Structure 1
Amino acid sequence: MLSPLQLIVSLCGSLTAFALLKILRRIYQELTSPTRTLPGPESSHFLYGNLKQIMEDHDSGLLESWIAQYGPTIKFHHLFGRFQMFTVDPKAIHHVLMHTTIYQKSQLQRDTLSRIVGPGLLVVEGDVHRRQRKIMNPSFGIPQTRALTEIFVDKSMQLRDIMVAEAAKGGGVARIEAISWLSKATLDIIGLAGFNYDINALGARAGDAPNELAEAFEAMFHAEPDNLTVLRFIQARIPVLRSIPTKTEAIERRSQATIARVGRRLLEQSKREVAESGTFETGRARDLLTLLVRANTAKDIPESQRLSDEDVIAQVPTFLVAGHETTSTAVTWALFALTQNIPAQTRLREELLGLSTENPTMEELNEFKYLDCIVRETLRLYAPVPATSRIAMQDDVVLLSIPVTDKRGVVHDHWRVRKGDRVFIPILAMNRDVRTWGPDAMEFVPERWEAAPPPSTGLPGVWGDMLTFNGGPRACIGFRFSLVETKALLFALVRGLHFELGVLLADLGKNSDGIVQRPNVRIEPTKGNQLPLLVRPVRR
């Protein structure tokens, strides 16, 4: 029998041999990877590669400059110098996004995202994703969005009134922080529209007890560190180390426990509502969770295809992220863009004031042609989620619409992708591609959407020939919900208030927290993401 010391030595030797084997295997894969021969920038760091450059790029056009210099299909250096394919080739992107069996989120991506949203629709893959999507689709149709528009408008008007009151306190003008106020409004909206749950973030006053669901979500969403750390990179390479407890993970676990507890309570309420019947237009039955429960218990759904209670509860944080952070970010960028284009702001306000009511329907919001142009141009130029990536689950061949010349001078009209290779899809860069959008692709020009039919990009995007809402089978299920909510917020705010930037444009930067990209003020880094605006009520 081996002694304890011998067992320890044997175990350490085995672990060392295993680690060495993994390292040698990784080196071999990198040396023989087809991606290695693609053109692209040199690595800027032995550990981070080019990744830190990308994450810290404050809209300076870094990715666009790489595309201009090296072409539409290139490589860059990822963690520990690992190569990653980067493409804005429409045919290649179409192939990757449509073939969800071959191209999926990496396990690290799924682990990181699940710590925020749990095992919901944004995280799961394959048959599980298809089953969840099939059950959830009926909850996000046009009739369902129409029924929820009243909630969007009511909360938008409440936010407008708050800003008008703040301006009155300041003698007719107020300096407000747009991100925090918009975040409260969209959190209230998804609380009511998603679960008929009154979060009341807009109405909360100093000294009020915080709403437990809102507090848990905010803590969990903002617990993930904004910067790159050595530990995160080591965990990325050695999965077993991802279980090392950290302060961030402790916050996330507590928050997820709270969300699951509240989610179970809301689910039981929804089940009672469905059991007591009633159409979705009335009572609780119009919220997304109740619609999901009704769809999940429909007679034409086989028992084996129905979602478990845990699957349904997993959608609660998914709804919160998809219906809260992304929409508030989109409206934030729209207001910023309108401060930089006052004629567009004035024209939009004149159009909105043409409607006699302050409570428009979904159809009335969608009939505003210039509002639609503003929303489209904002989501093109300032897509809240700037990029996505996939990992190949098997060897594949990707056809290219634009041939690529590799580092050996060989021209290719297709590219071999090997199992384990990663493909980076720069949504923002694709939305700003000069080949599609012209020389003013980096400028906010809402009139481009009324001058002619939008250009065909050949992408599988679900809206506007863009990738803002992703594309293919994993396209954003709630894009209609988000669009109408965005229009309702802009309707109320621009109709009632003038907006100007509250800081120097040169001091404004961008920051990505891993999911969305929002503005910040460079000279006030400790304040985090923010967009200071000066607001004045519109005089009629």
Structure 2
Amino acid sequence: MIGWRLVPALLCAPLALLLYFLSAFLSLLVRQARSPLRHLPGPSSPSFFLGNLREMHDQENNNLVARWTAAFGSTFVYRGFLGGRRLMTVDPLAVNHIMSRGYDYPKPDFVRDSLASMTGGYEGLLTADGDMHRKQNPAFSAAQIKSMTPVFWDKATRLRDVWLEIVTSQQSFTPADPLTLHEPVADARKRDPEPATAPVLSPSALTTSFLPNPFSSFVPSKASPTLPSSYRSRRNRRRGESTASSPLSPNGAASPLDDPEEKEQEKARIPEDGIRTSSRIDVLPWLARATLDVIGEAGFGYHFGALESAAERRGDESELARAYGVIFGTARKFRVMTILQVWFPFLRHFRRENSATQQATEVTRKIGLELIEQRRSAIAAEELSEKADAIEGDKTALDRDLLSVLIRSNISQEPSKQMSINEILNQISTFLAAGHETSSSALTWMLFALGRHPEVQKRLREELRSVDLPSPFSPSPGSLSASTSPSVSPSTPSSSHPSSPCLSSAFSSTHHIPTPTPELLDRLVHLPYLDAVVREGLRLYAPITTTMRVATAPDAVPLATPIVDARGRACTSIAVAPGDIISVPIQAMNTLGSRGDESEFMPERWLRAGADAEGERRKGVQGLWANMLTFGGGNPVNGNRSCIGYRFALSEIKVFLYVLVRDLEFSADPAVEIEKKVNVVTRPCVKSEPERGNQMPLYVRQASPPSERTPAL
């Protein structure tokens, strides 16, 4: 009898759970059906479950937003999961209204969840809202950014030297992405150079569900991918030897350029003009390593040594880089559970992390606490000795990184406005996530654009060379060689390893390159054509192509251009309800226009008469910088969600372009089609080689001396 009495009780729990899910699901459908967005025009939905999301995952290559805008106007709706309507607008007045009210229009929960898993929690600048975000939003001054410029110069110069060594030695190799997990191999020469099975893709290219992963085309940059089977068989027949005896690349795989036929084809694509030394280099992972080192040292005083590790072909990464590789790889996974947790908040209580992620989180917390304690102790010692009374300035190495600035600012606040330890820890991950891939992506695309437009590159180089540098900074371009090119002296513990035999002794020289003077660096970042190139690059290749917001209260979003809804009514504003999602296509807004040249790389547009010509052309887009939304909105009304590190990024990009383009020439193979692949940031991929993942192959050679005529690339 007692057992029978327990049956109803046992059935109550699953029944209650079923009722919860049904009620939440029905509530979701009812809210979507009653949304005021239902009256707006938009494209038809090919799938009830996926809506328009399948075609949107490739929108940076298929011109989707432009086609939709031409068909439905500047403001329309598209469908998300389960047919949910989402507002998309390129109307400048509507975008300004939404972007200037960061606290009224925060990021949707599923976006915040993804960012939180990447940055270690909901207490960082990218994920915090309201009062928590207000006290975390310091404005890094121009003086503080200027004090970090020597770090930019140091890494840019080292990267230039490495590429020059590759060019002169004709031994090109591709390092792995520093924040990507790779199978550990004790001895690279023991690895099968041509495995029978394809390499495992990055976690970001996988999905744990039956849903198509909208980011499945993303694979991180990696060294020496598996060679196509047709090429392997052809090469083996010609050589009559085992693939195991093939020369090895740094990670153990055979290089395609080992084949004589491939070498001849490669030569045919290299311009011949008397300067023969030219190498095909995948610039993406090299720039990723250089910018990782920059954000490590300038952001929070940590020496990753990623660039030096690749230059010396050691194949090892720092403890913190390995940990963040686990965290970022896990965060980029696309899961059905992420969407279900938005629909059914109760499921958030069942989140679990695997052991690898837990261990990685423990490592980042341990190292982060050590970095924070070092800076707090140094700042306390300064206050006691009365050596420093202000935050700004370049007094010591500890004073100039962003974490020190943040801690100093935090100490000076009232106790109620100070950040907790967890909040400061989140900022370390935020600095890394926001300041690493975005800069490397922007620099990669700019070098690509310069490689496709040799006349722009030539004009830029002429301007860069107009700034005279003392000989210790940069040798005469004609004298750059494996025997004479200087190198940056090891400035970090991670770069003090003995030089690899792969690099010439000149590149491991201990000759110190003096730090550029503030006056010189100030002149560099204000060069007009360099500024125009950077503006045009960030306009045409925005690292973050789309941002999403969600309405938290009923609102009427004003429109600069009225639209006609599905009922035939003219609308000068759009009504939104709580929970309505709005997409702002940043990249599309940067390139949409009526002139017809918006999709062309044309830095001269920024030098036209009229200081605000480009802003007027975009009819009032109130961006933080250059009348663009690349760094977010620039006129906050209630909540500023724009990029606090935009000055940092601009200075870093300009210094890298100065050092690299002044002494190196870049060209792109016109036969190679490069596509954009988006996974948090926009990265390049060769359309015909999707199996090789993200890459940007460019031909790099030593620039001609100023006295000689620079040949066409």
Paired with 1:224 and 1:378, the residues of 2 have a C-alpha distance of 28
Contact 1:402/1:413, CA 8 A, preserved across alignment? yes
Q: Do the aligned partners of 2:25 and 2:343 also contact (CA within 8 Å) in 1?
A: no
Structure 1 vs Structure 2: percent identity of aligned residues? 36
Q: What is the CA–CA distance in structure 2 between the aligned matches of 1:240 and 1:206, rounded to whole Å? A: 48
For residues 218 and 348 of structure 1, the distance between their equivalents in structure 2, rounded to whole angstroms, comes to 36
| Structure 1 residue 175: Cα displacement | 1.6
**Aligned residue type for 1:10:** C
Residue 189 (structure 1) aligned with residue 355 (structure 2): no
**Alignment partner, residue 455 of structure 1:** 615
For 1:41, what is the secondary structure of its paired residue? coil
Q: Which amino acid aligns with 2:395?
A: T
Counterpart pick for 1:338 among 442, 450, 472: 450
Equivalent residue of 1:222, what SS?
A: helix
Return 54-63 or 31-40, whichever deviates more. Answer: 54-63
Q: Distance in 1 between matches of 2:555 and 2:62?
A: 34
Aligned equivalents of 2:352, 2:675: Cα separation in 1: 29
Q: Please give the per-residue CA displacement for 1:141-197, whole angstroms capped at 9, x wherever unaligned.
A: 100011111111111010011000011111722221111000100011111111222
Task: Give matches, 1:84-233, under 5 Å.
Answer: 84-118=86-120, 119-133=123-137, 136-137=138-139, 140-170=140-170, 172-204=277-309, 205-207=312-314, 209-225=316-332, 228=334, 230-233=336-339
Q: CA deviation at 1:6?
A: 2.2
Measure the CA separation in 2 of the matches of 1:225 and 1:199.
22
Determine the structure 2 residue equivalent to 1:446: 603
Gaps in structure 2 of 5+ consecutive residues: 171-275, 474-515, 706-713
Say which is worse superposed, 327-336 or 233-242, in terms of deviation.
233-242
* Post-superposition offset of 1:458: 2.2
Contact 1:503–1:532 at 8 Å: present in 2 too?
Answer: no
Structure 1 residue corresponding to 2:427, chosen from 290, 311, 315: 315
Aligned to 1:425: 584
Give RMSD over aligned pairs: 2.0
CA contact (8 A) 1:188 1:200 kept: yes
Counterparts of 1:48 and 1:481, CA distance in 2:
39
Corresponding residue of 1:70: 72
SS in 2 for 1:46: coil
Shift of 1:208: 6.0
Query: Does 1:237 pair with 2:394?
Result: no
1:385 to partner: Cα distance: 0.3
Distance (whole Å) between structure 1 residues aligned to residue 526 and residue 289 of structure 2: 27
String of CA shifts for 1:388-432, please: whole Å, max 9, x gaps.
111111111111111011111111101111111111111111111
| Structure-2 separation of matches of 1:3 and 1:269 | 63
Of 426, 433, 441, the residue aligned with 1:329 is 441
Cα pair 2:109 2:342 within 8 Å, conserved = no
Aligned match of 1:505: 672
Mapped contact 1:259–1:316 kept (Cα < 8 A):
no
Establish whether residue 537 from structure 1 lines up as the match of residue 702 from structure 2. yes
- Give the gaps of 5 or more residues in structure 1: none
How far apart, in 1, do the equivalents of 2:298 and 2:6 lie? Answer: 60
Q: Distance in 2 between matches of 1:246 and 1:531?
A: 36
Between Structure 1 and Structure 2, the one with more helix by share is 1
SS of 1:416's partner is: strand
Once the 2 structures are TM-superposed, how far is the Cα of residue 67 of structure 1 from its aligned partner? 0.8
* Letter of the structure 2 residue corresponding to residue 158 of structure 1: R
TM-aligned CA deviation for residue 510 of structure 1: 1.5
Cα pair distance change 1:535/1:4, threshold 3 Å: farther
**2:394 corresponds to:** 281
- Distance (whole Å) between structure 2 residues aligned to residue 180 and residue 246 of structure 1: 32
- Structure 2 match to 1:297: 411
What corresponds to 2:556 in structure 1?
397
Shift of 1:316: 0.2
Matches within 5 A, 1:33-52: 33-52=35-54
1:3 positional shift: 4.3
| TM superposition score normalised by structure 1 | 0.93
Deviations 1:124-149 (A, max 9, x none): 0111101111xx32xx1100011111
Q: 114-123 or 481-490: which moved more? A: 114-123
Question: What's 1:363 paired with?
Answer: 522
Contact 2:450 2:456 in 1 (8 A): yes
In 2 relative to 1, CA 12–442 (structure 1 residues): closer, same or farther, beyond 3 Å? Answer: same
Q: Tell me if structure 1 keeps the 8 A contact 2:615–2:621.
A: no
**Structure 1 residue 414 corresponds to structure 2 residue 573:** yes
Q: CA, structure 1 residues 433+209, in 2 after alignment: closer, same or farther (shift >3 Å)? A: closer
TM-score normalized by structure 2?
0.71
How far apart are 1:503 and its partner, in Å? Answer: 7.3
Please list the CA deviations of residues 194-231 of structure 1 after superposition, one character each: whole Å capped at 9, or x if unmatched: 122211111113446421112222332233346x5545
- Counterpart CA distance in 1 for 2:340 and 2:377 is 47
Query: Any idea what SS the aligned residue of 1:393 has?
Result: coil
What is the CA–CA distance in structure 2 between the aligned matches of 1:42 and 1:500, rounded to whole Å?
A: 42
Q: In the aligned structure 1, how far is the partner of 2:76 from the partner of 2:130?
A: 28
How far did 1:107 drift?
Answer: 1.7
Shift of 1:288: 1.0
Cα shift readout 1:451-505 (whole Å, capped 9, x = no counterpart)? 1323234233110000000113111000000000000111111111111225733
Q: Return the offset for 1:232.
A: 4.3
What's the counterpart of residue 236 of structure 2?
Answer: none
Q: Which amino acid in the other structure matches residue 291 of structure 1?
A: V
After superposition, give the CA deviation of every residue in 1:80-108 in whole Å (9 maximum; x if it has no partner).
21100000111111111122232111222
Secondary structure class of the residue paired with 1:504: coil
SS in 1 for 2:307: coil
What pairs with 1:253-272 in structure 2 (closer than 5 Å)?
253-272=358-377
Instruction: Give the whole-Å Cα distance in 2 for the aligned partners of 1:531 and 1:187.
Output: 18
Change (3 A) 1:250 1:55: farther
Conserved 8 A contact 1:116-1:252 = no
